[in-house]
Structures are given as structure tokens and as C-alpha cells.
Chains A and B, each alone.
Chain A
Amino acid sequence: MDGSMSPLMREASLLGEDGGSAAAEAAWHGLFWLVFANAVGVLLAVLLLAPGLNRLLGEWTYGRWVMVHMNLELYGWTSVPMAGFLFRAYGAERGPLARWRRPVLWVWSAALGVGALSWLSGHSSGKLFLDWSGYARVLFAAALLILWALLAMALVWNRRAGARASAAAWAAKVAGLLLLLAVPFLIYRAASPGIYPAVNPDTGGPTGTSQLESSLAVVAILLVLPLGLTRRKRASARVVAMGWAVLAAESLLCAVLSRGNVSHRLPVQYLSLGSLLAWLPLLPAYYAAFAWHPATRLWRRAMLWWWAALVVTGWILFLPGVLDHFKFTDGLVGHSFVAMAGFTSSLIVFVLVELLGEDAWIFNRARSFYLWHGSVIAYIVLMTAAGWREGFDPAFTMVPGPERNTLYALRLVSGVLMLAASLDWLVDATKLLRGQPPAWLDVALEKTA
């Protein structure tokens, strides 16, 4: 640890003697990719306004950069930090295996770097969010396997070291480990061009069944997360049980739905997707049943609000007429921002804040919090407006005009603001890892003390 950390800070900090906690390391890698992907997003927004600049990029034109942007947001920012959660859940953040956390994160980041170069070099499977192909595809799967191996060894080591946990907890961890083992192979397999999910014949997009399936997978993750992060409050067993019961019921419903190419116009499709609305009250109640670190308050609220927005707008956008209007438009780009920049980002930061505890100041500064959310909301409003216009006139965003250009210029501004907020987090995360927190934090801690 650096000598610049005051005794008060040192006492409050969770950073280990080896220079950084598992969460701080995972946060740094995730934030690095967030900043990188956001910078690429800004580049894309610039290119849509000034397509002549593509000339400067040689063969690395717009389409190749979109792959880099989308995949690094998904496999970088929204995935790497979850390794911090897994390190905590499987006890890999302490003991002799803790020193392998950082190498595992390096391997993951190296795989992302190789992936970015491979997309820029024109290697892709042609599948959105599954563009892995060739060497990069194998390397990414290998990076996930290495993470899994560390978690498995940590579990075994903790068991041998006599770590205290109930039989149910051990069983859950083993079951989770088996599920995690499937992930690298599933991603490798899913990136194959020969596999494609069911298609909604009226839109060319996913069916209601597919969307329900993926949403329930997210719900399952949301229900599991508190179990690995904190402890349940007393007298909250009913709410927790209800959460799992509703998930089971919805999974049963999903299981009986058609897996074929079915239209969103079938009432059973949009009504079954509407069953997700049950999670509007249920998820906040479920999360209220757990004891969270006080520092999580801001981001937990944000996550739950974004969740509500995602469920409601997701369902509305799937309804007949609405989906027909917005399909292939910027309106759905706006919705993907509700999902990724709004909900998922808030969830990731909330988890990191819980893991970081007193070191969570890096995410709790008011300026970056409001900058991020304000610019994300602005982006969503702008894209929804563009999508609304585009629904009536598909050429609206293809042919530059004053209205389209104004919306896209404002979109660029909001993108720059998002980049600024993410950069703020990355700078603070770097300071945290170096043991150089800002002076104001010491003052704040003294006041609290």
C-alpha cells in the first residue's frame, strides 16, 4: 500500500495488502473497457454526423467499429466486474489462490483486446453480440475457463480449510459452478454461424418466447446475486420464497410456449411476456429483504428504477403495432440503452459498491452519478424521438436533414457526457488501486468519524 493513504482511510479501506481487493481489480478492468467502448461509441456518433471522416480510418470503417463497441460493452463492462462477485462468492479473494485473481482478469482483458483487433481486422461470425470467430473465439472461451478453474480451486481450498457454511450453501455453490462451466462452451457454440434462434416472422426479430427466456435468466441472476453478496434480514423469508416461486411459475409458463418462429401478434406471446410485470413490485421487495451496505443506497435505487423502466418499456415495445412502428429504428437503440446503460450498468455498479464497501466512494460521487444518468436519459429520449419519426419515414435517419442532424448532434453530446462520467470512475478506480484516494475523502471520513 502506498504511504499516501491516511490511517483513517487505511482502516476504512478493504484493499488487501497485495495492492487491491478483488472488487477493485475487477472494477478497474470493467471500467477500462467501459471507457474504451464509450470512446468508440462517441466515434460512431461522430461518423454518423460526418461520414467523410471514415476516410481517415482506412479499412477500419463504421461497421467494424460497431462490433468493437457492442461487444466490449457486453463482454467488457457488463461482464468483467461480475468476476469480482464470483471471487467473493467462491472465496477466491483470500487465501493462497487470491494472488491468481489479477492474472485471471489479465487473461480476460487480453481476450477482449484480441477480440477487438479481430473485429477491426474483419473477422466476425456475423451474429450480433456473438461476433467471436477464429482465434479470438477460442481465446475468449479459454479466458472464461481459466476463471472457472480459479473458482473451482477456491471452492475446494475453502472446503479443505474448513470454511464454515451450511450444506445447502455448499451444494448451491457446486451447482453454480457446474452451471458456470457450461458458459464458455455455450458462448463458443452460440457464436457458430450454424445456430440461430427462433425468428418472429412479422418483424425478423426475436419471438416473445425468446425474450421471456432471456428475461427470466436475468431475473434468476438478480435473485441469486443477494445470496452471494450479503445476508438476509430476519422475517423476510416469505418475500424471498415468493420471488423464487414466481420465477418457477414463469419458467413453467415459458416451458409450455412455442419454440418456433411465432409472431408477436399472437396474444399468448405478448401476454406471457407481460407476466414479467409481476417483477415491478416483487424485485424491490426481494432486495429490501437483504441487509445492504449503506453505500449502496443510491445505486440500488437507480438499479430498481431502471429495472421498472426496462420491464415496462420492454413489454410496451413488444405489443402489436408498437413493435411494428419501432422495429429497425433508433427507438430500439434507445431501448437497448435502457437495458445496458441504464439497468445493467446500475446493477453492475450496485454490486461493485456492495463489494467495495468503504472504498465505494469511486462510484458515489454526485457529479458522475448525475452526469451518467442524466446523459443516459437524454440519449434515450433523443433516440425514442428519432425512432418515432423513423417509424413514419424509414429514410429519416438515412438521409441527413436538419431535424435528423440536430438529434444526432445532441446524441453525440450525451455520448461525450457518458464518456466523461465513465472516465471519472476509471480515474478514481486507478487512484483507489494505487492507494491514492483524493484529499476530500479523508475530510469526509474524519467528519463521519
Chain B
Amino acid sequence: MPHAKERMAGWRGAVLVAVTYIYFLIFAQFGFLARLASLGIADQPLKAVLAAMALGGAALSLAMPRLRRWNLPDARLRAGLIVCAAAALLSLLPLDVAGATAVSLAIGAGLGVVTVTLATHLRRWTGSGDALWMAGLGTGVGYLVCNAPALFNAPARVQALTAALLCLAGAAITLLPAQPAAEPRPASRRDGLPFGYALGCFAALVWLDSAAFFIIQHTPFLKAGTWAGALHLSADGLLHLAAALAAVWLLRRRGLPLVLGAAFAALGGACLLLLDAERIALASALYPVGVSLYSVALVAYPSVLAPAATAAERGRRAGWVYAVAGWAGSAMGIGMAQNLGHVPPGFVLAAGVVVLGPWLARLLARRRREATLTAAVMLAAFCVDRMLPGEKAEAPQSAVERGRQVYIAEGCIHCHSQYVRPGSPDVTMWGPATNLEALRRQQPPLIGNRRQGPDLSAVGGRRSPLWLKAHFYDPAEVSGSSIMPSFAFLFSDRRGDDLVAYLASLHSAGTAQHLAEERLWRPSSAAVARASAAEGERLFLRNCATCHAGNGRTRQRWRTEFKGLPPNLSDRPFAYLPPHESPEEDLIRLEQIVKFGIYRTDMPGHEYLPDEQVVSLSLWLTQMKAQPLENR
């Protein structure tokens, strides 16, 4: 492994790669589009302007390596960078469609010259340094800078100026005297991919990337979930940098196919996750990883990894990669995103076949017997499954039966038991003891073996359907410190309502008797001695205010669906306390309501609170009752 000093010897190469990426990402792909929008260029004219950029880029990418005259790498790169800088500055003028098209053409042309020249002669600017390392570092730093909140959120004109200045700085770097280039490392067997295959892989990845980028950019809630906030942007930038450096390590250790495969896994996964609004956060972590992995390869493959006998051959290959994979792939991705609004899973699969196909084909060729037997058994099992009548014929019909299937499907059994043990503390907390005969008639009984949440065998008597629904939407909002995940997604179809119907149907035979026993419940004297109204106020805010404060979130959200709107306890009477009772009797009744709720209303119990907290809460409520907040 080269030493750090040797590695940094090629800093000019890294800077030039970074400048190229920054120009392309923050200006050509981002700031310029915002500028066009501010100029009122949209719809068909916008497509024409962007097509000019793709045309300029693809044409110059293919033409540059074939241009025999003026074959001076420094001069070519300098000229390309100056054209890029000029185009960025010109974009600040009040352009019409024709002017914008010309500028767009210049952006594409400049980038075409810069990318192909840089890839063809990267070693010229990395000198004795490690070219692969510089390509990765430059890519990672480029993405990091683009994700810097100050630049990312800056006005289009600042982004254009920054891009132009960086291009001019890059052009200045090319004036420095060239260093002797390091000997190219021997081509690895892993990197010597057939050129057509590599080209196809890059095209598929750029296509996926461009489509995902366009969708995120034009979907407000996706944008909010992926690029919103300084913290998020900074994290994205660091992820890009880390993935770029990881790409270098992987390219060196495991070769190009693995990097391309990993990039596909991350990018394809992100595209699939973007289909579901619930999974945006995960998509936003995968997307930068996939992008940076393949972006490093996109620089490293034509410049360092692919074997080439002459600079001309290297240049021609680079030209094809950037024209076909870069410009055409990008245009196709954006077109797909514009027309469909999403990346179809079928396309992700097709991209997977392109990227992983040869690897899979090799694996299957080596493991033909394994693959054949596995496929045969899977097919046979499929046929048998179709033929078996089994439980499929007995599809549940009622909402309660369907809800029970949802309960099973979601694995509720792994946190909630449905068995109240006779003569145990379960009875006080969760209802009458379970009737074993009734339980055994269920198919299957859903007893469970672990409680991460309360027993549900009689939950229909303890919680109203509204409470259950609100709790599924946002457990922590309704139930202070609940660790249950949100199941809001179930309400995108009928599963949520079915599950609520099922849980609401869970009653025990001895409910009347149990209610009578609840009226006899008293907290322990030790708990009464330790309780305090001050603690009660804290508990009120955590557990009760969501319904019983005027601005409580649950109260506001479900306002129209309560059987009766929960009283705002700061100014309303305590309707369920019988009149003319002594303060002591009021306190006991309040303690029972806090612990067990109010039967047949939306008021839930708080069975999980220790007695001390139940008394503390009741003490504070008693004070509220005596002196409502508004009178204090």
C-alpha cells in the first residue's frame, strides 16, 4: 500500500475530479434547472434545452478522442473547463429559450471535453500518486461539497458562480508543470470486464440514479424526507464520502464487478423503497451509497482499471462510457421519471439482470445441478400448493375473522399474550381469567409466550375502537411511552379496520363480575404515602394531556370521532365523578378511573402505571377539580 505522502502526491487529479463532479451536480443538474425555472422555461422548451445539453455532452464525448489535432491534454482540459465556467456565468443573463439552449449546449460540450480528457489522461495529473485513490477521493469530496447545506440551499446564481470559479481554479491547476506519471498497476483479472458489459452496467446504474434523483427532486414529501435540513444534508455528504472511499477499497480488494453489484443493490433498493412513503428514510441512506459507489467506478474504470494499449484507445472507451452511459442513460432515466413518476420494480429487475446477469450466469453454469434441482422442487411445490385445498378454501369472511388474520400476519403474538392467568396479578391488570375451553376453540389459540406489551384477551372491554385506531396510527401519541411501532400503514386498505374490529371483539365472559371487582380496588397504603401531586402533574402531561388538554394532539386529530369529546380538564367538570361525594371518595373513584378507564367510553385505563403514579395523578386531578387552571 502506498504511503500517505505518495498518495497525496496526485492531489491535482483529485481536485480536478472533484471540480468536475461539483460542476455537474450542483450546477448542470441542479442550479441550472432552478435558473431555467426562474426564467419561466418549462415543459417542451425545457426538454429542448436539456436535450441540447445531452447532445453537446454526448457529441463531444465521442468526438474528442477522435480529434487528431490539438492533442494536448492540459490545453484540452483547460479549454473544456473554461467553456464550462463561461456557460455557468452566461446562465446568469436573462436568457430566452434560444439563449438557454445555446448555454445548455455549451455546458454539455464543456463537460464532454472535460470528462473524456480527464479520464483519458488522469495519471498525468495524479503523477506519482495513487490514481485510483485520487479518483475515489475526488468523487467523495465532490459529493461532500455539493451536499454542504450552504451550497446546496444557496440560490441558483450562487451555485452557478461557485461552479464557474471552481472550473477556473481547475483550469489554473492545469498550468502547473506535469509530474512524471506512476507506472500503471497491472490490470486485475477482476477488472478486465468485457467493455460492452461494463458499458451496459454503467448505463443501467446511471439510468436508475437519474430517475431516482428526478423523482426525489420533484416530489415534495420525498424531497423533505431525503434532502431537507442541514443535518440530513451533512449526513448525506458524509455517506457519499465514506461510500466513495469504500469503493476504492473494494475496487482494490474485490474488483469492479463487486462494486457494480453493490451499487446496484443500494440504488435498486433505494428505488424500490421510494415506492413506499413509509420507507423514505431508509431510501435516503441507500441512495448516496449506491451513487458514490458507481460514481467512483465511472471515473476509475475508463481512466485506471480498463486495460488500454494506447491513450487513443482509452479515450475512445471513455467517450463511449460517458456518451452512452452518462448522457444517454441520464436522459433515459429522467424521461422515465417524467413519464411514470416512479421506477417500476420491473425496471429494477431488468437493471439487476444487466448488472448481475453474467455473475448469475457463471454461478448457474458452475452450479447447474443445484440450480436445476432447486428450481424443480420449487416448481413442484408450487403445483402441489395450488392443488391442495388446505386452509385456502376457508378464507375469512367477517371483519373480525379477517382482523384475526391481520393479528397473526403482523406477529402481534410476539409481544402480546392472550391469556390471563387465574389467581395472578394478570386479572387486576387485564381482565377476567381466560376460559380455557373457549380458548381452545380458536384455530389456533393465540396465547403467545412473551409480553412486550399488555395482554389482549379482553382488550375489547378495556379499550374503545377509536382508542385502538388512534393507537395504531401513533402509539406514543396516545399512550405516553409506548414502544409499539406505528401500524398506520394498515389503514391504507381495510386491514386496519379489520384489526380494530377483531380486537374490539375480544371480551371475556366474566366482564360484569370483573367491573364490580374493579370498584373494590384500592392502591396500597405504601403507594399512597409516596404519591405526590407534583409528580401527578408530570404524569398528566405525559399520559393524559393528549386528550384532556385543549390543544392535545389526539383530541385535535380525532375530534370528530370521539363518542364524546374528552373534557378539557382545565376548565370542564369531571362528569364521571358522582356528585355530593366526599373528597376522599372522589379520590378513590379517580384512582379507579385512572387505572381502569371508564367502561364503554373512549377513556382507557392505565393498568401499567404503578399504584404510586396512579395516586399521584389522581391527587393532581383532585386539585384541578377543586381549582381549575383557569381560576388559578
Among candidates A55, A67, A395, A400, residue contacting B486 with C-beta atoms closer than 8 Å: A55
By a CB distance below 8 angstroms, the chain A residues around B448 are 128, 328
B374 within 8 A of A: yes
State which size class the interface on B falls in: 35 or more
Interface 1/0 per residue, A279-312 and B, CB below 8 Å: 0000000000000000000000000000000000
User: Are the C-beta atoms of A204 and B419 separated by less than 8 Å?
Assistant: yes
State the 6 A-B residue pairs at the shortest beta-carbon distance, nearest first: A63-B411, A204-B419, A54-B485, A122-B409, A395-B608, A126-B408
Bound together, the chains give a CA A47 to CA B415 distance in angstroms of 13
By a CB distance below 8 angstroms, the chain B residues around A143 are 377
By a CB distance below 8 angstroms, the chain B residues around A104 are 373
By a CB distance below 8 angstroms, the chain A residues around B282 are 56-58
Within 8 A of B (CB), among A180-222: 192-196, 199, 201-205
Among candidates B273, B412, B429, B450, residue contacting A333 with C-beta atoms closer than 8 Å: B450
Q: Decide yes or no: A196 and B440 within 8 Å by CB, A110-B374, A138-B384, A139-B381 being known contacts.
A: yes
Bound together, the chains give a CA A227 to CA B412 distance in angstroms of 43
User: Are the C-beta atoms of A329 and B380 separated by less than 8 Å?
Assistant: no
- Further contacts, 17 of them, CB under 8 A, given A67-B411, A399-B608: A48-B452, A51-B476, A59-B276, A99-B369, A103-B370, A106-B367, A107-B373, A137-B385, A138-B388, A139-B381, A142-B377, A199-B436, A328-B451, A395-B608, A395-B609, A397-B451, A398-B451
By a CB distance below 8 angstroms, the chain A residues around B398 are none
Interface 1/0 per residue, B405-441 and A, CB below 8 Å: 0101111111101010111111001000010100110
By a CB distance below 8 angstroms, the chain A residues around B391 are 133, 192-193
User: Are the C-beta atoms of B444 and A62 separated by less than 8 Å?
Assistant: no
User: Are the C-beta atoms of A59 and B278 separated by less than 8 Å?
Assistant: yes
User: Are the C-beta atoms of A328 and B450 separated by less than 8 Å?
Assistant: yes
29 A-B contact pairs sorted by A residue (CB < 8 Å): A54-B485, A55-B278, A55-B486, A58-B278, A58-B282, A63-B412, A63-B414, A103-B369, A106-B371, A106-B374, A107-B374, A110-B377, A119-B411, A122-B409, A124-B409, A126-B444, A134-B392, A139-B378, A192-B391, A196-B445, A199-B447, A201-B422, A203-B419, A204-B447, A328-B450, A329-B450, A395-B609, A398-B483, A399-B481
Bound together, the chains give a CA A201 to CA B406 distance in angstroms of 27
By a CB distance below 8 angstroms, the chain A residues around B419 are 203-204
By a CB distance below 8 angstroms, the chain A residues around B273 are 58
User: Are the C-beta atoms of B436 and A261 separated by less than 8 Å?
Assistant: yes
User: Are the C-beta atoms of A394 and B451 separated by less than 8 Å?
Assistant: yes
By a CB distance below 8 angstroms, the chain B residues around A328 are 417, 448-451
By a CB distance below 8 angstroms, the chain B residues around A114 are 378
Q: Decide yes or no: A51 and B489 within 8 Å by CB, A123-B409, A138-B385, A193-B391 being known contacts.
A: no
User: Are the C-beta atoms of A61 and B377 separated by less than 8 Å?
Assistant: no
Nearest-neighbour CB distance to chain A for B609, whole angstroms, equals 7
Interface 1/0 per residue, A13-55 and B, CB below 8 Å: 0000000000000000000000000000000000110010011
Residue count of chain A within 8 Å CB distance of chain B: 68
Nearest-neighbour CB distance to chain B for A157, whole angstroms, equals 17
B562 within 8 A of A: no
User: Are the C-beta atoms of B281 and A56 separated by less than 8 Å?
Assistant: yes
Bound together, the chains give a CA A397 to CA B372 distance in angstroms of 48
A-B contact count (CB 8 A): 183
User: Are the C-beta atoms of B278 and A397 separated by less than 8 Å?
Assistant: no
User: Are the C-beta atoms of A204 and B417 separated by less than 8 Å?
Assistant: yes
Bound together, the chains give a CA A137 to CA B444 distance in angstroms of 16
By a CB distance below 8 angstroms, the chain B residues around A107 are 373-374, 377
Bound together, the chains give a CA A429 to CA B373 distance in angstroms of 24
User: Are the C-beta atoms of B373 and A103 separated by less than 8 Å?
Assistant: yes
By a CB distance below 8 angstroms, the chain A residues around B367 are 102, 106
Nearest-neighbour CB distance to chain B for A433, whole angstroms, equals 13
Most chain A CB inside 10 Å of its own CB: which residue of B371, B392, B451? B451
Bound together, the chains give a CA A59 to CA B276 distance in angstroms of 9
User: Are the C-beta atoms of A332 and B411 separated by less than 8 Å?
Assistant: no
Among candidates B384, B425, B447, residue contacting A394 with C-beta atoms closer than 8 Å: B425
Bound together, the chains give a CA A139 to CA B377 distance in angstroms of 7
By a CB distance below 8 angstroms, the chain B residues around A261 are 436, 440
Nearest-neighbour CB distance to chain A for B286, whole angstroms, equals 11
Which A residues form the contact surface with B (CB < 8 A)? 47-48, 51, 54-59, 61-67, 99-100, 102-104, 106-107, 110, 114, 119, 122-128, 133-135, 137-139, 142-143, 146, 192-196, 199, 201-205, 261, 324, 327-330, 332-333, 393-395, 397-400
Q: Decide yes or no: A146 and B377 within 8 Å by CB, A55-B485, A199-B439, A398-B454 being known contacts.
A: yes
Within 8 A of A (CB), among B446-468: 446-454
Nearest-neighbour CB distance to chain B for A317, whole angstroms, equals 13
B626 within 8 A of A: no
Bound together, the chains give a CA A199 to CA B408 distance in angstroms of 20
Of all chain B residues, the one with the shortest Cβ separation from A204 is B419
User: Are the C-beta atoms of B378 and A63 separated by less than 8 Å?
Assistant: no
By a CB distance below 8 angstroms, the chain A residues around B429 are 394
User: Are the C-beta atoms of B424 and A324 separated by less than 8 Å?
Assistant: yes
Among candidates B373, B440, B453, residue contacting A398 with C-beta atoms closer than 8 Å: B453
Bound together, the chains give a CA A329 to CA B487 distance in angstroms of 24
User: Are the C-beta atoms of A138 and B381 separated by less than 8 Å?
Assistant: yes
B443 within 8 A of A: yes
Among candidates B370, B378, B443, residue contacting A193 with C-beta atoms closer than 8 Å: B443
Bound together, the chains give a CA A143 to CA B373 distance in angstroms of 10
User: Are the C-beta atoms of A327 and B421 separated by less than 8 Å?
Assistant: yes
User: Are the C-beta atoms of B451 and A58 separated by less than 8 Å?
Assistant: no
By a CB distance below 8 angstroms, the chain B residues around A59 are 276, 278, 489
Q: Decide yes or no: A63 and B415 within 8 Å by CB, A51-B483, A398-B483, A398-B608 being known contacts.
A: yes
Bound together, the chains give a CA A51 to CA B377 distance in angstroms of 39
By a CB distance below 8 angstroms, the chain A residues around B576 are none
Within 8 A of A (CB), among B587-632: 608-610
Nearest-neighbour CB distance to chain A for B52, whole angstroms, equals 40
Bound together, the chains give a CA A126 to CA B413 distance in angstroms of 8
